[in-house]
Structure 1
Amino acid sequence: MSFLIDSSIMVTSQVLFFGFGWLFFMRKLFKDYEVRQYVVQVIFSVTFAFSCTMFELIIFEILGVLNSSSRYFHWKLNLCVILLILVFMVPFYIGYFVVSNIRLLHRQKLLFACVLWLTFMYFFWKLGDPFPILSPKHGILSIEQLISRVGVIGVTLMALLSGFGAVNCPYTYMSYFLRNVTDADILALERRLLQTMDMIISKKKRIAVAHRTMFQRGEVHNKPTGFWGMIKSVTTSVAGSENLSLIQQEVDALEELSRQLFLETADLHATKERIEYSKTFQGKYFNFLGYFFSIYCVWKIFMATINIVFDRVGKTDPVTRGIEITVNYLGIQFDVKFWSQHISFILVGIIIVTSIRGLLITLTKFFYAISSSKSSNVIVLLLAQIMVSM
């Protein structure tokens, strides 16, 4: 009876996660570039649901929710489904949609998709050669063999994600990195941009008038008579073309300058918005979190370096050590072992959430920049691959 109740809880949570992934990501994150293939939407939402379920099972393990046998069963079931999606389904459909966008391979896209998937499986298997993860006790496609290689990819992605979050989050929210931007600076830059645009328009008008004049002269003096008339016509046309070439070069240089001025103007407006946001209560809160996590990350790097250099084995983390010092100083009764585990878990969870949030914002900008009706399916599947690997 307890197993049925635990299973109903897990199924309900998976349905909720699936619905959130379907409605939020597919309708909000990718709304400008509609993903019309339902199989892509289903794969992405299922991947999101099972990834959240794995994280939910970790929380249940810490808090002691559900029966241990039920947690083990659902953990193994979710792991098998995720490996099936990660290793077999997502790479195959990525290859299938890549081949579908190539006209020469459109007739035999299923065959070439299988070839791409086999190529992926070869490199995925060869990934384990430099690492001591091969074992003759397990089969080729066993859970141990697959999860070991996925673990290498996931740890690498998490390291990249942590590095990105450690740099991007303080830079985004800390007021220390904000430069002073005033309305006068923005107005001066916008005035320069308008002057540059006026110069471009003026020079393009000159080019258009010169082309029209040369065309009219060509109609009036269509056939120059005599030797000197031909020489004069050639000299005039050469001089005119050289002048037009110089003006066109000036126009190209001014257009490049206008693009740079436009980007700098947009950056100043974004910086001004960040300054206004930093003055709000939420901005001050994120500014404090930026300083706190920066100090925490620097302390972790320092202690890790000390432990590596002096071959030390860390027995307590900074949270536990800080709680012990506080409890000993205040002289109060406090279960340090119990609460330090939960506080450390919450702290690491906040770091992971903020890092993933920063990565998703960057990936969304990247998606909007390169996505099209042909590439949107592949990009969504790649995001699903990255998400489930971590």
Structure 2
Amino acid sequence: MIACSDVLVMGAGPAALCIASELVQKGLKVSALASNSPDRLWTNTYGIWAEELESLGMASLLGSRWTNTVSYFGDGVKEEGLKPTLHNFDYGLFDQSLFQKNLLDKCDGINWIIETAEDIRYRDSITEVICTSGKIYRARVVIDASGHRSPFVKRPDHGPIAQQAAYGIVGRFSSPPVEKDQFVLMDFRPDHLTKDELEEPPSFLYAMDFGEGLYFVEETSLACAPPLTWSKLKERLLLRLSHRGIEIQEVVHEEHCLFPMNLPLPFLNQPLLAFGGAASMVHPASGYMVGALLRRAPALADELSKAITSDPSLDSARLAKRGWQVLWTPDLVLRHRLYQFGLKRLMSFDETLLRSFFTSFFKLPQDEWFGFLANTLRLPRLLIVMIRLYFLSPIGVKLGMVGLVKK
């Protein structure tokens, strides 16, 4: 007889560990299945506005924190185009190893299965995960937290998927690529590009000073379908640095990022539950997700715990339904659609219009632009913020917002 868990979580990244750790805290019998060990170190950097972690009592998980946070939306040529937009809001990067260890410690007692899932089937009111080894693992409900590429989570096809792509370097340079103790959220200055290159999809620099002569510089494309290639982004990054007379002296780490921004929501009536990228939890307007994982995992775990312990007769489909209803409330679904609408408009903006849009966006009150980027504004407030942004914006951006200006 194959043992049956209350919940089986698929994956070993931040999403999987966030939800698995909360389920364990509820006293449920949890197993986890992943192709790689959960102890395998995460290599990508995870950024977040410090207030998001402070509100959760997790600020100690930050490995780096910056108070001097800025962006550049000018043309980089005229004097006014050289001035930064001051955010006056702390930004940080997770200490990846500490973050990972913190979650793994909370996962104490989980049965970790290092296998690759090949198929999922539903029978006798439970879910069975069939692995490439031929072994079968059973649970009352399965949560796929293995990422946006999961073949098991079903969703509608709404056409091409816009993806955020980035190529970055942690290293040492001939001269500082950013000012001392500075974090640059977005540097859209295009003065290093030719006229033909300005016609291509825009990208920006995301950069920070780690101290002791170490910096992180990353060329990022907000969203594009098809996505900009890493080779193109690397070429642009090197051109940007060269234009400023900066040479790379040592590469400590290379980073490659590629993830969907406008992935449709999964079908919310399927018996397989999902979390993280597999559940389309990436913020369509900003690309951030970790804050949402930390905020939304407790409620999902609480609902599943109540359902599993209170009614042993609930099958996988009904348990998953309870989970989907908590994970994607009507308010969150409508917010997701609004953000996707906004992203579609931004993708039609050329480089000049995009710089103008972000100049207007950061003129919003701090709590509003922060809430927009963190997805913490409830629907009525979000609508008010979007209307306010429209009236703050110059005529060109207004026309772009209503679809009357295209590249």
Indicate the structure whose relative CO is greater, using CA pairs within 8 Å and at least 6 residues apart: 1
- Larger strand proportion of the pair: 2
User: Does the alignment reach a TM-score above 0.5?
Assistant: no
Give TM-score scaled by structure 2 length.
0.25
